[in-house]
């Protein structure tokens, strides 16, 4: 068996795992489980980036993989876990749309993503071009999770999952983004997390809850 064929099959398997994790995130109500799944997403991205770096012979992708491991598997899940325990929001409230309906909408988005990715896949010359559709599907599913959740923390996790999909899409289509851009995004994420942490504590202090419907009610008044 040719090594490049084996790498391609492994990348397809990892892409399928990423899609399954995205569906699992849609069906979970416990915030702790969402953080765990987000860390697993990061681990899949780390392994897939290593494989692409090895097969394409791109040294900069090894640095991208190391940054993914440090930030998305270790640092951000740890920060999120500390945050939800400090705030006491391990459980999310009832989502805006029930889980079965959300899953059906998610399935429709996956079909749409694969149709949208076909022209891009034909133009791409990377070994991961067949996973572009899955990358787009992960982005759409993460966005769906963001707009169907009530709690601010779970919406932030959805945003981070969407960023994972964007990273995977960049790797699939063009072998990733320049390292300077990736470092800038990583720094922005960390700074954003510190700001969001302060923001969450302020919401909790004012409303005794992180349910965004409380702020909507205040706006109506």
At 152 the pLDDT is: 72
At 219 the pLDDT is: 46
Nearest to 56 by CA among 118, 11, 117: 11
Structure tokens at 158: 């959805």
- Residue owning tokens 């915030």: 31
Structure tokens at 88: 């006491």
Question: Computed over its alpha carbons, how large is the radius of gyration of the chain?
Answer: 18
Determine contact, residues 175/52, Cβ cutoff 8 Å: yes
At 43 the pLDDT is: 94
The residue length of the chain stands at 221
Query: Which are the contacts of 96, defined by CB distance < 8 A and separation ≥ 6?
Result: 147, 148, 149, 150
At 90 the pLDDT is: 61
* Residues of the domain holding 39: 3-220
Determine contact, residues 49/176, Cβ cutoff 8 Å: yes
Q: What is the mean pLDDT of each run of 10 residues along the chain (221 residues)?
A: 68 89 88 90 90 79 84 86 74 70 91 84 65 87 86 80 83 59 55 58 53 49 48
At 173 the pLDDT is: 64
pTM attached to this predicted model: 0.77
Determine contact, residues 40/158, Cβ cutoff 8 Å: no
- C-alpha 2/C-alpha 48 separation (Å) is 18
Nearest to 161 by CA among 53, 65, 80: 80
- Count of domains for the chain: 1
- C-alpha 101/C-alpha 128 separation (Å) is 31
3-state DSSP assignment of residue 128: coil
- C-alpha 5/C-alpha 27 separation (Å) is 34
At 1 the pLDDT is: 47
Question: Alpha helices, DSSP H only, in 28-98?
Answer: 31-56, 59-68, 76-87
Nearest to 197 by CA among 32, 81, 53, 72: 81
At 107 the pLDDT is: 93
DSSP state of 110: H
DSSP state of 130: G
Report how far Cα 116 is from the mean position of its chain's Cα atoms: 20
């Amino acid at each position: 068996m040719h090594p490049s064929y084996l790498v391609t099959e492994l990348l397809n398997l990892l892409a399928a795992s990423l899609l399954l994790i995205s569906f699992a995130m849609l069906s979970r109500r416990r915030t702790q489980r969402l953080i765990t799944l987000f860390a697993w997403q990061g681990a899949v991205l780390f392994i897939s980036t290593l494989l692409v770096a090895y097969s394409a012979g791109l040294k900069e992708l090894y640095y991208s993989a190391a940054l993914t491991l440090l930030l998305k598997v270790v640092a951000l899940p740890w920060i999120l876990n500390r945050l939800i325990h400090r705030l006491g929001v391990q459980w999310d409230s009832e989502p805006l749309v029930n889980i079965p309906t959300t899953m059906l909408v998610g399935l429709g988005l996956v079909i749409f993503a694969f149709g949208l990715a076909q022209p891009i896949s034909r133009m791409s010359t990377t070994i991961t071009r067949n996973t572009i559709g899955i990358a787009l599907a992960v982005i759409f599913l993460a966005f769906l999770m963001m707009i169907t959740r009530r709690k601010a923390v779970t919406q932030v996790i959805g945003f981070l999952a969407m960023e994972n999909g964007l990273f995977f899409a960049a790797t699939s289509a063009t072998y990733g983004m320049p390292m300077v851009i990736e470092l800038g995004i990583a720094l922005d994420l960390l700074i954003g997390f510190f700001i969001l942490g302060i923001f969450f504590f302020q919401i909790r202090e004012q409303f005794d809850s992180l349910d965004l419907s409380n702020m909507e009610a205040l706006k109506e008044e």
